[in-house]
Amino acid sequence: MKGNGWDAGAPAVQLWGVSKTYHNGTTGLQDVTLEIPPGEFVFVTGHSGSGKSTLLKLLYGAEQPTVGRVLVGGQSVPDLDVGGLARLRRQLGVVFQDGKLIPQRTVAENAALALKTRGYSRGEIERRLAAALKLVGLTAKAHCFPEELSGGEQQRAGIARAVVHTPQLLLADEPTGNLDPDNAWQVVQIFKKLHALGATVVVSTHDEALVRAAKHRVVRLQAGAIAGPPSAFNVVSR
Ligand SMILES: Nc1ncnc2c1ncn2[C@@H]1O[C@H](COP(=O)(O)OP(=O)(O)O)[C@@H](O)[C@H]1O
Ligand SMILES: [Mg+2]
């Protein structure tokens, strides 16, 4: 623990009996218990409306559970104050369906922003930018603006921004939802590389073919609940 509250020895993610009911009474999640050890690659899959985004939002603190415990890096996310949540988010990388890039900034500037707000030196920013752009195959497009990129390139730029600070945990919510199969597979390959470098990776997708091809642990949601037999309650023994 280097003063950031993240316990590297704890599971990256723990959910215990988590339910989420939205203000209008809609069920987002239903009694979900789940543990993800550090360094694991997990797909969260299920039809549209099954609760994938809700699950990820609970992990980065954008939504609060109605019932149950949500721990990320050993910290109870709903109990964090504003400063604690900001510190937690500095340990996370979050990727969305669209790259969510700032249109007026280049690829390099978009990615560097995450480092500037984290107080990195100029030299360290240069070093990290180069590595992240290389990882996603955008070195040659560093000075392009988002509108000059294809959809797949925009998404890879978003991934560079999400990983440039070497997050403990990468959360990607339908990162391939707008991509054709070739671009989707490229994105999965990038996540696999990150995983090989030691990151914990959680990717939501409704694309069952992609999940089958990627061969990682799968958590399947159905109407907000974990589908299938409750074998060991999805808790991996360590
Ligand atoms: N902010 C919200 N207010 C009310 N209901 C919501 C909200 N966000 C999601 N839901 C509902 O929660 C359920 C799960 O949604 P979501 O987590 O977005 O599923 P997925 O990402 O798998 O498509 C759906 O029925 C959805 O309509
Ligand atoms: Mg969703």
The pTM is what?
0.93
Chain segment 4-39, per-residue pLDDT in tens: 788 988 999 999 999 999 999 999 999 999 999 999
Least confident of 24-28, 96-100, 214-218: 96-100
Chain segment 161-170, per-residue pLDDT in tens: 999 999 999 9
> Which three-class secondary structure state does DSSP give residue 217?
strand
User: What pLDDT is recorded for position 228?
Assistant: 75
- The CA distance from 163 to 156, in Å, is 11
Tokens coding 15: 């959910």
Cβ atoms 152, 122 nearer than 8 A: no
Q: Which ligand is nearest to the CA of 173?
A: 2
* Cβ neighbour number for residue 32 with a 10 Å cutoff: 26
Beta bridge partners of 14: 35, 71
> For residue 16, which of 237, 170, 234, 238 has the smallest C-alpha distance?
234
Cα 128 to ligand 2 centre (Å): 30
Mean pLDDT (the chain) is 92
Is 233 a residue whose pLDDT tops 60? no
Instruction: Tell which atom from ligand 1 comes closest to the C-alpha of 174.
Output: 21
Cα 90 to ligand 1 centre (Å): 26
For the chain, domains (ranges, CATH) are 38-61+82-231 (3.40.50.300)
Nearest protein Cα to ligand 1, atom 17: 51
List, chain by chain if needed, residues with CB within 6 Å of any ligand 1 atom: 22, 24, 26, 28, 46, 48-54
Cβ atoms 182, 156 nearer than 8 A: no
Handedness of CA 52, 54, 60, 65 (dihedral sign): negative
Chain segment 53-88, per-residue pLDDT in tens: 999 999 999 999 999 999 999 999 999 999 999 999
Residue 131 CB partners (closer than 8 Å, separation 6+): 164
> Which three-class secondary structure state does DSSP give residue 208?
helix
User: What pLDDT is recorded for position 4?
Assistant: 76
Per-residue pLDDT band for 232 (boundaries 50, 70, 90) equals: very low
